[in-house]
A and B are shown apart, each in its own frame.
Chain A
Amino acid sequence: MKGKRMHDKIRRHAAGLSALLLAAPAWAAGGAKAESAIPDPARDWDLLWNEVIFDISVIGILFAIVTAWFIWQARRRPGNEVGASPGLSPASAVGWVVIPIFVFLSIDLYTAANGWVLWNTFRDVPAKRMEIKLESGMYSWDYTYPNGVRTQNELVVPAGTPIVLRMTSRDTLHSHYIPDFRVKEDSMPGRITYLWFNPTKPGEHIVTCAEFCGVMHGYMAGRIIVKAPEEYAAWMKGEETRLAALNAPAETPAPAAKTKPAKPAAKKT
């Protein structure tokens, strides 16, 4: 597909640009050779976030110190009743525009390039993955597994398998926010949006709604439970049995039955 090639090309350029602007920052290199291993977007996010926060702290503190020094130097006192700012020659006036523009622009492009690399990590879904459908509604998260198993407000996933959520909403806007995985994306009626995360090790993570969705917005929370693959397989078996028992007397097939036959992705890892 042309779009995909274009995308890859742009990504290579972005990675190259970032390497050019700063001598090989560790996380840009990590983003560029991410084809083989499953990337960990949350870890990359932390690295870039810390980097940016460090940079703006340095800029901010330097700027504040310089400003405070100017203010103190220029305080009104005998002998300094009126300002004496030096006049600018036309050349230096232009210089004071052009040089800052290039300084700011280089910081901007550097930030943009690295942000872009991370963006691709967050948006390029790994080929080996489990796709789960999510329908959000006032005020619950309803998950449907590939094999038709459904859960509400509790998503059980196997450690080590990237999870893609294909999301929509049955009423208002919601945003599936998993603070621990540093990711969120709105869901809304009429469109399917997605996000993916990489649960590397067993544990529990809170899911909370990050887009104002109604009166009980603050109470719209759930959990992501990451289990070891074997525990997950056992749990899923139990759920499948339960689903089969539920479906047995039913006349109509569950809507999830239309999707492709389930292949428990968990076993691959």
Chain B
Amino acid sequence: MNLKEWIFTTDHKRVGVLYLIGSMAAFAVAGVMALLMRAELSTIGPTITANPTQYNVWLYTHGAVMILGFQIPALTGFFANYCIPLMIGAKDVAFPRVNALSVWLFYVGVILALLTFFIPDPPDVMWTGYPPYSTITTGNTAMYSFTVLILGFASIIGGVNFLTTVAYMRAPGMTLNKLNIFVWCTLAAFVLQLIFVPVLGTAVSLISMDKYLGTNFFDPTKGGDVLTYQNLFWFYSHPAVYVIFLPFIGVVYEIIAAHAKNMVFNYKMVVYGGVGGIVLLAGEVWVHHLYVSGMADWLRIGQMVTTLMISIPVGLMMIGLIGTLYKGSIAFTTPMLYALGVVFLFLIGGLTGIPLAVPSLTLGVSDTYYVVGHFHYVMAVAGTFAIFGGVYHWFPKMTGKMYNEFWGKTGFWITFVGVNIVFWIMMDIGVEGMPRRYYDYAHFPQFEGAHQWMTAGAGILAVGFAIAVLNWILGAMKGEPAGDNPWGSPSLEWSTVSPPPHGNWPSPPSVAEDWHPYGFKKA
């Protein structure tokens, strides 16, 4: 294997694998941050560090790197790159060199984020970077701004690339209603990225201008306004949740259809109602992050309704998933376990989000561990399970080899138990008043036992994830040959050899009129 070939590759599959390696490294680092925080919180008072700023840096790194360095790049970088050209029957993406630039920028962004550990005064502004704190802290806010800008730019050029690819490079006969659900979901996510990332770029740029260049966008004593930043930030960062949700639910659709060998239930409902509905609503719900921020009351009420209405497209997508399981032929393989895990975790996370859509109920639980538990269920853990399930699902395609099924399932169950211990308890003490982002909880001594359970749970789930990653590494090195289509799926990516060569197919494929990516037939 030639390192230079990999660095300068323009092959979408290699770019995808580079994205996977980078984002898994980011996941490992941000995961260690979570473990350090859990260790710190295991007792009241200083446990492993006596410096609250140290804890805040871990917290910043965990949030920013998990979202910007792990989930978004793994979903819209790795899965999109690896799967979309194969699923639509294209030789490569529309702009292979732009694709290479995108992954380079991603590495620059991740390295910048990880430099946090080697500079004096690292950023300690949370991943939200709210002023006035971010403009007066001694921490390095510029680092935060540049990390966001570079990763955002990488994502935007990826978005342009994939929209063009799907628009112009589909195989002959591949009509829009024959696209995989994952392709639709990822396209929608890229549309959201293209619309909303510039807003985030604006927000973090203005922060750094305020802090370093003497502007006063957010300083009320000089005509600025503090709340403007929160609006700009969440105007992107709520759609960002759908940038994560859409591809991960797309991955879950692919896994469930392939391992239940079943037609996706009501395809057009899922695509136009589910994916389309989310795109339409994504930009009109950001104020639910600002329910206790001092926003205008009428806006809080208005966006309560739009936020609750998100249940419609999301509910349609859940109906699609359950309908696909119905009368299927379900094999309980490792990817399927992860996908079913997502269904149940997302169910908990989605339903616990309903009270958070209601401003009056939020007055009690906003900024508590309830919110943290909720969004870990609905986005963080569900998304990560989908990513792990997806890597298992396409592992035979990427490597031509099979992972170890026993260790795969073991890893899944360990993680599944761990996350439920951590995040269920987290929601529970949140309702009782435990606020988030606390280095110490000296005035809430009643929660110490719960915190210790959560720390234990975090240790358990980390073991499960480590088993999964080891399983991939060992499987890639010396797994059994898997064959070209181990799951018996008609989806186009399984029609080529494993791993696919540069150019994907010896001659470009075309699809027949009665072909459908989910048209499973009796062997």
Interface residues of A, Cβ cutoff 8 Å to B: 45, 48-49, 52-53, 56-57, 59-60, 63-64, 66-67, 70-71, 73-76, 80-88, 93, 96-97, 100-101, 104-105, 107-109, 111-112, 114-116, 118-119, 121-123, 171-173, 175, 177, 179-180, 182-191, 193, 195, 206, 208-219, 221
Q: In the bound complex, how far is the Cα of B365 from the Cα of A179, in angstroms?
A: 8
State A177–B430 Cα separation when bound (angstroms). Answer: 13
Chain A residues in 8 Å Cβ range of B219:
189
Chain A residue numbers with a CB within 8 Å of B323 are 85, 96
Q: Does B48 contact A (CB under 8 A)?
A: no
Tell me the complex Cα distance, A263–B441, Å: 38
A–B complex contacts, Cβ < 8 Å, 19 sampled = A67-B343, A76-B329, A76-B331, A85-B263, A85-B324, A93-B266, A97-B266, A100-B316, A100-B319, A104-B311, A105-B312, A115-B359, A116-B304, A122-B363, A182-B363, A208-B444, A212-B130, A215-B53, A221-B442
A93 to chain B: closest CB distance in Å?
Answer: 5
Known: A177-B435, A185-B294. A70 touches B322 (CB 8 A): yes
B225 touches A108 (CB 8 A): no
The 8 A CB mask of B121-154 against A (1 = contact, 0 = none) is 0001010101011001100000000000000000
Identity of the chain B residue whose Cβ is nearest the Cβ of A110 in the assembled complex? B308
Q: Which 5 A-B pairs have the closest CB atoms?
A: A190-B220, A83-B262, A179-B433, A115-B358, A218-B438
- With CB as the reference atom, state the residue of chain A lying closest to B137: A214
Q: Closest CB of chain B to A120's CB: distance in Å?
A: 8
A108 to B312, CA, bound (A): 9
**Which residues of the other chain, B, contact A81 by a CB distance below 8 angstroms?**
261, 329, 522-523
The answer to whether the Cβ of B507 comes within 8 Å of any Cβ in the partner chain is no
**Chain A binder among B90-98, B347-355, B411-419, B448-456:** B347-355
B357 within 8 A of A: yes
Which residue in chain B gives the minimum CB-CB distance to A63?
B347
Please give the distance in Å from A75's CB to the nearest CB on chain B.
5
**Shortest beta-carbon distance from B78 to chain A in Å:** 28
B433 touching A217, Cβ below 8 Å = no
How many A-B residue pairs have C-beta atoms within 8 angstroms? Tell me.
256
Beyond A101-B312, A215-B53, A219-B442, is A74–B330 a contact (Cβ under 8 Å)? yes
B136 to chain A, nearest CB (A): 7
Q: Measured between alpha carbons, how far is A48 from B99 in the docked complex, in Å?
A: 50
Q: How far is the CA of A251 from the CA of B186 in the complex (A)?
A: 69
Residue contact B439 to A83, C-beta cutoff 8 Å? no
Cα A126 to Cα B201 in complex, Å, equals 43
Identify which of A63, A82, A93, A216 contacts B261 (C-beta below 8 A). Answer: A82
Give B42-64 interface residues, CB cut-off 8 Å to A. 52-53, 56
Q: How far is the CA of A213 from the CA of B126 in the complex (A)?
A: 10
Contact pick for A85, options B126, B328, B442, CB 8 Å:
B328
Question: In the complex the two chains form, what is the Cα distance from A140 to B266 in whole Å?
Answer: 57
Q: Given A100-B315, A123-B297 in contact, is the A111-B357 Cβ separation under 8 Å?
A: yes
Complexed CA–CA distance, A107 and B355 (Å): 12
Given contacts A105-B309, A195-B363, 7 further A-B contacts (CB under 8 A): A45-B360, A49-B364, A70-B325, A75-B332, A172-B133, A186-B294, A191-B227
Instruction: Chain B residues near A218: list those with CB within 8 A.
Output: 52, 437-442
Residue pair B351, A59 in contact (C-beta under 8 Å)? yes
In the complex, B432 has a CB within 8 A of chain A: yes
What is the CA–CA distance of A183 and B362 in the complex, to the nearest angstrom?
A: 8
Enumerate chain A residues within 8 angstroms of B227, measured Cβ to Cβ. 188, 191
Q: Which of B249-296 contact A (CB under 8 A)?
A: 260-263, 265-266, 268-269, 273, 292-294
Q: Which residues of B179-206 have CB atoms within 8 Å of chain A's CB atoms?
A: none
With A60-B351, A85-B265 as contacts: A172 and B132 at CB distance below 8 Å: yes
Measured between beta carbons, the chain B residues less than 8 angstroms from A219 are 440, 442
Contact A116:B326 (CB < 8 A) given known A83-B262, A96-B266, A189-B226: no
Quick one: given A84-B327, A93-B268, A115-B304, are A186 and B361 in contact (CB under 8 Å)? no
**Separation of A210 and B360 alpha carbons in the complex (Å):** 16
Give 1 or 0 for each of B486-521: 1 = CB within 8 Å of chain A CB. 000000000000000000000000000000000011
